[in-house]
Amino acid sequence: MQKKLMAVAVAGAIAAPGIALAQTSTVQVGGVLTAFYYFTKPNNPGTAKKGDIMESSEPEIFIRGEEQLGGGLSAWFQCTSSADGFISGNAAITESGWCARNSGVGFKGGFGNVWWGNWDVAQKMVTNRARGWFGGTNAFTGGVANLLMAGSASGAVNPTTTNASATTLSTTSVGGAAPVTVIVPGATTTTSNNPASFFRRQANAWHYHSPVFSGFQVMADITATNETTGISEASALKPRMWSLAAHYDNGPLYLGAAYEKHKDYNATNASTGATGYTGGDDHNWILAAGYTFAGVAKVTGLYSDTKYEVGNGTGQDVKVKGWWLFLDWAIAGPHSVKAQYGQVNDIKGTSTRTIGAIRAPGAATCAIGLGSTGTCGTETGAKQYSIYYDYAFSKRTEVFAGITKVDNDTNAIFSLGKVAPTAGASQTHYGMGVRHRF
């Protein structure tokens, strides 16, 4: 809940026979600052030591305004900017820029709300409602998006994917045998931040939220294809993203469902040097349900089902399924307990390419004896446990302390987002934080 710091009302009347026109506009300034101080036990001595970390988590300052145009129609804007520099210093300030978080311009009225800009998409909004107090990807209170949705993409655009020219290799005739011609696909280059992520703040997109009907609302997003200007006309690739969700929030009950599709996002290329990307669709489904018991204990569950089409002409895919539980229990007065538990099931599919921390079932880099002859056929999932105590000084200021841990299966490589994991190892963070809304 942000506090309104400034409101400007402007009213005018135009003298005309029998006509009076009044317009009112408002401007708000606010934001939120969250800081963590915690100890890390990465259990990966080859990459990182144990230590203590101080950092911010998505701090932001927003300016938003709305003008009533009459007849129930309003025009509005929002510019939300990062404030990471308040902990991290000048480097974070220069990297973030103005309006890098949820920002856009649009119109709202009886038809709902439609706008274009850089904003959290429908799938992410249902995920956010399910996780509630918890972070999506931060290293201390997050995790659900890291493990289930291939991390976060903030201010993301569609990938610009290009293929280099194919190379033709021919053999000479030997012993009267006909020569053999082999065409080797060209290397694929993808430029984008986190094309595998299904937890996105998407730039260059249209967004629509319907009115709320007795607690029910639908949301939809679709990107423009700005990135096609970097793809040749001869290419069949045309990256685009769609996100659609519906949820019901009425009294103690919350229900939500969402679907998101990425066309030609080439999720596996960035870290594998994949060749000859031919395009493909990546999909994510989520279901969420929550209930608040006696007005004090809210329990929410989230189920996620993701499929990546590798798109190298072989029909390979990667399938990721898992679920999460969140507890927000207001014990008494300012005291509350927050807890989460989640797990990723063994990764399925036929791919030999790992997508970020999602271990490819056919990757030949896992312990021999698991799966089929050294491939990552089993033991590729993980579990996360977290518990926190929270003290609210007011509706705007709170402090909290707790611990979170990720346990990888033997062949899994999920992490809490700070350092690279060791297959099969755990990672633990414990410490404290403060959050202030203004």
Q: What is the DSSP string of 375-430?
A: S--S---EEEEEEEEEEESSSSEEEEEEEEEEEE-TT-----SSSPPPTT-EEEEE
Rounded to 5 degrees, what angle do the CA atoms 422, 372, 369 make?
60
- Are 395 and 363 spatial neighbours (Cβ–Cβ below 8 Å)? no
* Secondary structure of residue 182 in the 3-state scheme: strand
Taking 70 as the threshold, does the pLDDT of residue 20 lie above it?
no
Per-residue burial over 17-45, b = 16 or more CB atoms within 10 Å of its CB, e = otherwise: eeeeeeeebbbbbbbbbbbbebebbbbbe
The whole-angstrom separation of Cα 338 and Cα 260 is: 29
Write out the two tokens for 145: 């998006």
Q: Which residues contact 198 (CB under 8 A, 6 or more apart)?
A: 123, 145, 149, 150, 260, 262, 282, 284, 304, 306
Q: What is the pLDDT of residues 80-110, one digit of tens each?
A: 999 988 888 876 666 567 899 999 999 999 9
- Are 323 and 302 spatial neighbours (Cβ–Cβ below 8 Å)? yes
Out of 26-35, 118-127, 231-240, 315-324, which region has the weakest mean confidence (pLDDT)? 231-240
Out of 43-52, 55-64, 150-159, 268-277, which region has the weakest mean confidence (pLDDT)? 268-277
- Are 258 and 252 spatial neighbours (Cβ–Cβ below 8 Å)? no
What are the distances in angstroms from CA 33 to CA 205, 328, 332, 397? 27, 21, 25, 10
The whole-angstrom separation of Cα 326 and Cα 79 is: 31
- Are 274 and 281 spatial neighbours (Cβ–Cβ below 8 Å)? no
Mean pLDDT for 330-353 is 95
Q: Could you tell me what percent of the chain has a pLDDT over 90? A: 64
User: Cβ of 378: how many Cβ atoms within 10 Å?
Assistant: 18
The whole-angstrom separation of Cα 147 and Cα 396 is: 30
- Are 151 and 138 spatial neighbours (Cβ–Cβ below 8 Å)? no
- pLDDT classification of 234: cutoffs 50, 70, 90: confident
- pLDDT classification of 433: cutoffs 50, 70, 90: very high
Out of 20-24, 241-245, 420-424, which region has the weakest mean confidence (pLDDT)? 20-24
Write out the two tokens for 400: 């909290």
The β-bridge relationship of strands 153-156 and 200-209 is parallel
On average, the pLDDT of the chain sits at 86
User: Cβ of 328: how many Cβ atoms within 10 Å?
Assistant: 22
Of the two residues 157 and 167, the one the predictor is more confident about is: 157
Nearest C-alpha neighbor of 223 from the set 207, 244, 236, 199: 207
Q: What share of the chain is helix, strand, coil (3-state, %, to 5)?
A: 5, 50, 45
Q: Which residues contact 262 (CB under 8 A, 6 or more apart)?
A: 195, 198, 239, 240, 241, 281, 282, 283
What are the distances in angstroms from CA 378 to CA 30, 46, 146, 371, 410? 48, 25, 20, 5, 8
pLDDT at position 166: 52
Per-residue burial over 64-103, b = 16 or more CB atoms within 10 Å of its CB, e = otherwise: bbbeeeeeeebbbbbbbbbbbbebbeeebeeebeebbbbb
pLDDT at position 7: 44
The residue whose two tokens read 């949301």 is 219
The residue whose two tokens read 């144990």 is 50
Max CA separation in the chain (angstroms):
101
Out of 95-104, 317-326, 415-424, which region has the weakest mean confidence (pLDDT)? 95-104
**Residue 384 pairs with which residues in a beta bridge?**
342, 406
- pLDDT classification of 272: cutoffs 50, 70, 90: very low
Statement: 35-59+112-437 belongs to CATH 2.40.160: yes
pLDDT at position 93: 64
Full DSSP string of 27-83: EEEEEEEEEEEEEEE-S-TTT---EEEEEE-S-EEEEEEEEEEETTEEEEEEEEEE-
The residue whose two tokens read 């976060």 is 152
Q: What is the pLDDT of residues 103-137, one digit of tens each?
A: 999 999 999 999 999 999 999 999 999 999 999 99
Q: Where are the domains of the chain?
A: 35-59+112-437
Write out the two tokens for 26: 């408002």
**Residue 393 pairs with which residues in a beta bridge?**
none
The whole-angstrom separation of Cα 163 and Cα 184 is: 12
